[in-house]
């Protein structure tokens, strides 16, 4: 459990490593020695979150487009299958015309 005198846990914007601000103002990263501007960090984090959401939305739209394409192809395949079945129904073959096809095993 962190102690109150350690302050708030922060993330160094340069290294991405975590540190406590020790309740100091301005906040200085112990890793780089640079002053950490909290507002800049918040804007970057918000921008990154918005970019991730936009990317996820585009991926979702792409997935929906792909599903529509798959459904259209399935409908085309179903129509082709129906046409082939209709063509097969027109052809009749007598049993005398059928020949026995040998199986994979030889009879002894």
pLDDT category of residue 86 using cuts at 50, 70 and 90: low
Q: What pLDDT is recorded for position 101?
A: 62
Using the structure block, give the residue that is written with the tokens 């970057």.
44
Q: Provide the 8-state DSSP code for 67.
A: H
On the CB side of 82, CA atoms within 13 Å amount to 6
Q: Provide the 8-state DSSP code for 6.
A: G
Whole-model pTM: value is 0.38
User: Are the beta carbons of 36 and 16 closer than 8 angstroms?
Assistant: no
- Among residues 44, 36, 43, 40, the alpha carbon closest in space to that of 17 is found at 36
Q: In the predicted model, what is the mean pLDDT of the chain?
A: 76
User: Are the beta carbons of 31 and 19 closer than 8 angstroms?
Assistant: yes
> pLDDT tens, 13-39?
888 888 998 888 888 888 998 888 777
Instruction: Please give the Cα distance from 8 to 27 (Å, whole number).
Output: 10
């Amino acid at each position: 459990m962190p102690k109150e005198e350690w302050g708030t846990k922060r993330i160094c914007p340069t290294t991405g490593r975590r540190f406590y601000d020790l309740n100091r103002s301005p906040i200085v990263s112990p890793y780089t020695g640079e002053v950490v501007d909290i507002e800049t960090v918040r804007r970057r984090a918000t921008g990154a979150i918005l970019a991730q959401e936009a990317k996820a939305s585009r991926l979702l739209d792409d997935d929906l487009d792909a599903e529509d394409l798959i459904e259209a192809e399935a409908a085309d395949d179903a129509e082709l299958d129906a046409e082939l079945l209709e063509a097969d129904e027109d052809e009749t073959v007598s049993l005398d015309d059928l020949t026995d096809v040998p199986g994979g095993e030889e009879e002894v």
